[in-house]
Structure 1
């Protein structure tokens, strides 16, 4: 065992990137007031962006500059109004900010959406749609992802605890996001968005959301690695990792880096569906990428669960754990889409004619 420990890689990186502060604020600040102000600014900005575009290049450039100034003016005014409302109704305030301790997980979670925006911008441009529309889609997909992931963890992994501690359900900063719940949240969000966006079907949108979702998943699972969470069973394989930040004896045993296995799986899924997207010259058969994504990601997740420490309290009583039970219906849905709903031949002929 001593030789094994010496040969294994030890992971002891601090999950916090750095720490700054605390800082004394020049005036009391209400966090609920910021939320209220942000909401006011968002709705006001939406009404501004819905105004018609002017004709002519010079007029358009002038309009864009004016709109940008108005946008930031609306944001500032909204935040001020939010603070005034908070003071009038007596909401709590803070006079000290910090310490600020950004974490690798938060940074990588943000990178997931930055990469999603970059890839999505290309796909929306390929389709002749506006990047502004993409920004709106990504905003709601982010909301759906977080809400779905949190509720998935609450319902499927620790429902008894959260029924006894309802105030902890929104506390995502304490950890607890489930990828299966995120998948459901994203699907529901796409159903709603496809009904509101002209000329956009659910299948079209789903195909273009799963590509950035796949590469985003790799970033998020790498963030789990920095947090030393979602780790695997003990192993004597040469790539076993000792997560030294785990308590007691758990921090001395080489384990499967399951979160890295899942990150590699996400990269593999991204390569496959991106290849299909390019093969069909940015116009894949509707539903094809979405179906392939469900099949590849969640069938992979089913088998990788065998290396993972169970996350649900009752999972050890089953030969198939909660993560695997949740993966099965998603794989079956993917198979149904790919083999029963996707019109592969018809779309291929259309591509040949277009070429």
Structure 2
């Protein structure tokens, strides 16, 4: 079996300033947003819509605020409300980890809604533009969780080649669930969504597809992660992450249906109607 390396969460220190690996992973996520975003801007249907690199930089500023504030509030409210109620100062200790994706997701939606009003852009077009840029950033966050030795997995079969002991938890073999989520919810979701978004789609379709794919991927990978809390529905235990992913799945399905049914781009408009032949 493997053993978690338990690295020092501080990457380096300059005098009193300590730079944490978790923060570096978020910085990498923001850099990837701009790098991959520059490539996305070159896609024909994106360039035709008049998007500029300056728009991405501006959106990143709003997005960072949404991620940090929403992610932290989501962690506090969705996962450990009682702990933070008794330790309120810990709410501000973001360098220790503990950022909820679902809270960050809502925070980004709100932040970009505000940006769209300022830029006089349709907010749905904004969501479609940035959706393929999100999964790799999520993967960076999960790698940060792994370095911090948090979000450990459920107990695994000792014969599993990558079963891992987390010394900060116990001596039982566990799934390295942050790595699973980085690969499945992050890298795999990015590849599939990037392929889907390379062509022009109906308004909201790309954003809805990401919400659906992430919800499904997260629901699956949660089976390998030690749950923060569990609810029992008809004899079926559902973890916190799965509970929060169900609305995303339902919304993604509904938004995709709405997008293809009601957006005019969904149906070809330049196809000539066949001429009707009259019976002789």
The two structures have a TM-score, normalised by structure 2, of 0.84
Aligned length: 261
SS at match of 1:233: coil
What residue number does 2:128 align with? 207
Return the offset for 1:339: 1.1
SS at match of 2:58: helix
Unpaired runs of 5+ in structure 1?
1-7, 23-96
Q: Is structure 2 residue 135 aligned with structure 1 residue 221?
A: no
What residue number does 1:59 align with? none
Q: Aligned ranges for residues 130-169 of structure 1 at < 5 Å? A: 130-169=52-91
Distance in 2 of aligned mates of 1:284 and 1:317: 39
Task: Map Cα deviations across residues 141-179 of structure 1 (whole Å, 9 max, x no partner).
Answer: 011011111000111111123233333322222332111
CA gap 1:335/1:243 in 2 versus in 1, 3 angstroms: same
8 Å contact 1:228–1:243 — kept in the other structure?
no
Distance in 2 of aligned mates of 1:181 and 1:174: 17
| Larger helix proportion of the pair | 1
What residue number does 1:235 align with? 156
Q: Aligned ranges for residues 180-329 of structure 1 at < 5 Å? A: 180-198=102-120, 200-236=121-157, 237-247=159-169, 250=170, 252-265=171-184, 266-278=186-198, 280=199, 283-312=200-229, 315=230, 319-329=237-247
Q: Which has the larger radius of gyration?
A: 1
CA gap 1:239/1:209 in 2 versus in 1, 3 angstroms: farther
CA gap 1:110/1:331 in 2 versus in 1, 3 angstroms: same
Unpaired runs of 5+ in structure 2?
272-280
SS at match of 1:169: helix
RMSD across aligned positions (CA): 2.5
Return the offset for 1:307: 1.6
Return the offset for 1:124: 3.6
Distance in 2 of aligned mates of 1:175 and 1:349: 46
CA gap 1:211/1:304 in 2 versus in 1, 3 angstroms: same
CA gap 1:122/1:343 in 2 versus in 1, 3 angstroms: farther
- Mean Cα deviation higher: 117-126 or 204-213: 117-126
Return the offset for 1:242: 2.2
The two structures have a TM-score, normalised by structure 1, of 0.67
